[in-house]
A and B are shown apart, each in its own frame.
Chain A
């Protein structure tokens, strides 16, 4: 079974649910729970209407996984010199990352050794004595 990502995110007046890989499959609801249920149903209907599959998805071979967009983490305020870095660098909710994690068993992943070889580094276990921040 292929897992299909559905996202529920807050809007100004409620919640919006959508399936990134099923263009046009979208719902609006007053609560996150209702949007979760509605997008599950809408995605099933959408897939069923396209018996030959939509974007390669076949209705009988899909599990829909709904991810509710979490509220953004509060701004980091530790005063250790890293606050600005964390607050600016962390793209906290990235659907591309969610897609990767959703079907991680089916993705091509690279090992440590493969990455080091790819970058032209020697794959050693030893870390330097620089202190992590």
Chain B
């Protein structure tokens, strides 16, 4: 397990290898510099919010009580994120990112 202190934000945000790979694919699928800039900006907003106020950011989707998490989703620009917030610990798990309107190779 690789979990750093993840900065001074209130929640520790973690990404699985699959999510990192997905982000890399989404990023690689963008050729227009303006699209890359917007993607970066959206990702930074998402990351900042997931680390600071994930229960205010986005929208509740459904609880998974046996896993002790609540699943939420949010959209910033063209970037959609699905994430889980631990019910008892300050942990956020980024589950998936999707780019609206395609863009995935």
A55 at the interface (CB under 8 A from B): no
Stretch binding the partner chain, chosen from A18-26, A44-52, A103-111? A103-111
With known contacts A106-B1, A111-B3, A119-B27, A86–B59 Cβ distance under 8 A: yes
Cα A132 to Cα B40 with chains together (Å): 13
Q: Which residues of A contact B16 (CB under 8 A)?
A: 100, 107-110
21 intermolecular pairs with C-beta atoms under 8 Å apart: A65-B66, A70-B64, A73-B61, A86-B73, A89-B73, A90-B73, A98-B64, A100-B18, A101-B67, A107-B16, A109-B14, A109-B93, A110-B16, A111-B6, A118-B23, A119-B24, A125-B48, A126-B44, A127-B45, A128-B41, A132-B45
Cα A90 to Cα B61 with chains together (Å): 9
Number of interface residues of B (CB under 8 A): 50
Q: Which of B63, B67, B69, B77 meets A133, CB within 8 Å?
A: B77
A75 to chain B minimum Cβ distance, whole angstroms, is 12
Closest residue of A by beta carbon distance from B38: A130
Cα A101 to Cα B95 with chains together (Å): 9
A77 to chain B minimum Cβ distance, whole angstroms, is 13
- Chain A stretch 23-79: residues in CB contact (< 8 A) with chain B: 65-68, 70, 73, 76
A108/B66 in contact, CB under 8 A: no
